[in-house]
A and B are shown apart, each in its own frame.
Chain A
Amino acid sequence: MNSERSTIIRKKDLSLWERMYIPEIVKGMKLTIRQMFAPTFTTQYPDERFQPPASFRGRPVLVEENGVERCVACGLCSRVCPALAIEVQAGETELGKERYPEKFEINMIRCIFCGFCEEVCPEEAIIMSQEYELAFTKPQDALFGKDKLVVPIEKVQTRLNFLRANR
């Protein structure tokens, strides 16, 4: 029974004072009354909004640099996505990167915010933003196309800095 990995904790018998129960109740009540005047942790949500830290994984977005998204439509994110949420269709472009996503769609009902897409992306083109207000009234609303996904780089700079710092 007394193997190396387990230690036996022997409970001390309660003293008579503790067994009288009433003093212990008073002690407990002192604690609860003290807590009544302690500051609360609640955020008054619609009035006050939670500003997540850079490590927060909100909805995935596509980074836009110099007016064009970084994505080269390699399809790695779509391949790695465990929830099969991403659909990429590649197209050719005159730009230096040669390929671009003709269609990029993330189904936000499927996405589980794992961040694998961000991790696998060779271009740092898809990253997790700090947006967390994702409520829809229709399933169709949850299909985010390029219009919703592409955001300018300035808006996601904190996350990019975080990623560089913790690579």
Chain B
Amino acid sequence: MNIIEPLVKIALILLINLTTVAYLVYTERRVSAFIQNRVGPNRVGPMGLLQPVADIVKLFFKEDIVPTAANKFVHSLAPLISLIVALSTFAVIPFGNTIHLFGRDIKLMIADVNVGLLYLLALSSLGVYGITLSGWSSNNKYSLLGGLRSSAQMISYELSMGLSIIGVLMIAGSLQLDKIVVHQGNYLGGFLPAWNIFLQPLGFITFVVAYFAETNRLPFDLPEAEPELVGGYHTEYSGMKFGLFFLAEYANMITASAVITTLYLGGWQFPFIENFGFSPLAVSLLQVAAFGVKVALVLLFFIIVRWTIPRFRYDQLMNLGWKVMLPLAVLNIIITGFFILV
């Protein structure tokens, strides 16, 4: 098998991902500023567009402090785990249909694993190790509490996330993400694209809520709740190690958006594109663009939600997870099964 092709894809995706992370931080700061009737960073470069560069340079030059009482090895390992997990989830996400370039067919995903969905689930729950280990290794009560909360939260929401995915699985009949996307290319009654969001809105809601909890975004950012836990799990991190956590959080957000897009919003499907009569290459490129736009919109949704909804209390979080989300996810499976049988 050709080794160059996957390598090029990996490099491209890493590059795009990391740039997006940088500009996602910028967007988040700008959007939050606009929401609060402020301006946000607008000094560095035109409209503040070079702010991410300045931020990264700053993080690199900061002193890296490791607490004396910390477990040095685990303390350094934890941010790496977080980041690697966040980035490697992208390996199975199809960001376009098979494209015909330079006389060969190129599949626009790094690894076409036939258990893509399982891989996704496995990795997204691995991410919690980074947070828990960082909390434990810092030898700080706030960090430890943050780490513990994170693992408890992950366990509670992992369940409803997995259960809501089962609905998608039942409809598509495959664990392969590519097949799931292709399956969403049909139309319902000739006008509505058969995206899973329309096929199972309940599953969509439970999945999105669970994934918010997985990415530790507000309203579920209890592991780093500033008012009560100082900085949460990353209290004892500074310099680029903190930067890695930061990077991981936003990379996770991108992954989350990509997963939501793939599973529920039709992935790279561009509705009704076959009726316009473009050339196959243009169609493929437009589909990639459609994927990008969808991911960007979901990201914007993530940001706006963060600046809209206050944080949950811990007991509310657990109540929601076990008493509401879990039954809803099970209900979704039952309803889906019922429709498939009928």
Contact = CB atoms under 8 A, between A and B. Distances in A.
Contacts of A95: none
Nearest to B36: A35
Contacts, number: 35
Contacts of A3: none
A42 B308 contact: no
B39 A36 contact: no
Contact of A44 (B39, B305, B309): B39
**Chain A interface size range:** 10 to 19
A41 B35 CA distance: 12
A35 to B, nearest CB: 5
B304 A32 contact: yes
A36 B37 CA distance: 7
Contact of A29 (B33, B38, B39, B304): B304
B37 A40 contact: yes
B38 A40 contact: yes
Interface in A15-41: 22, 25, 28-29, 31-33, 35-41
Given A22-B205, A25-B309, A32 B35 contact: yes
Interface string B306-325: 01110000000000000000
Contact of A42 (B35, B39, B205, B305): B39
B187 interface: no
Nearest to B219: A25
Nearest to A34: B35
B34 interface: yes
A59 B30 CA distance: 35
B303 to A, nearest CB: 10
Interface in B20-54: 31, 33-39
Interface in B272-326: 304-305, 307-309
Interface residues of B, number: 14
Most buried by A among B31, B33, B37, B38: B37
B36 to A, nearest CB: 7
B37 A32 contact: no
Contact of B38 (A25, A31, A37, A41): A41
Contacts of B36: 35
Given A40-B39, A44-B39, A29 B308 contact: yes
B326 to A, nearest CB: 16
Contacts of A22: 205
Nearest to A42: B39
B158 to A, nearest CB: 21
A35 B37 contact: yes
B305 A29 contact: yes
Contacts of B304: 29, 32-33
Nearest to B300: A33
Given A22-B205, A29-B304, A35 B35 contact: yes
Nearest to A30: B308
B35 A36 contact: yes
Contact of B34 (A28, A31, A35, A44): A35
Contacts of A36: 31, 34-35
Interface of B: 31, 33-39, 205, 304-305, 307-309
29 contacts: A25-B305, A25-B308, A25-B309, A28-B309, A29-B304, A29-B305, A29-B308, A31-B308, A32-B35, A32-B304, A32-B307, A32-B308, A33-B304, A35-B34, A35-B35, A35-B36, A36-B31, A36-B34, A37-B34, A38-B37, A39-B37, A40-B33, A40-B34, A40-B37, A40-B38, A40-B39, A41-B37, A41-B38, A42-B38
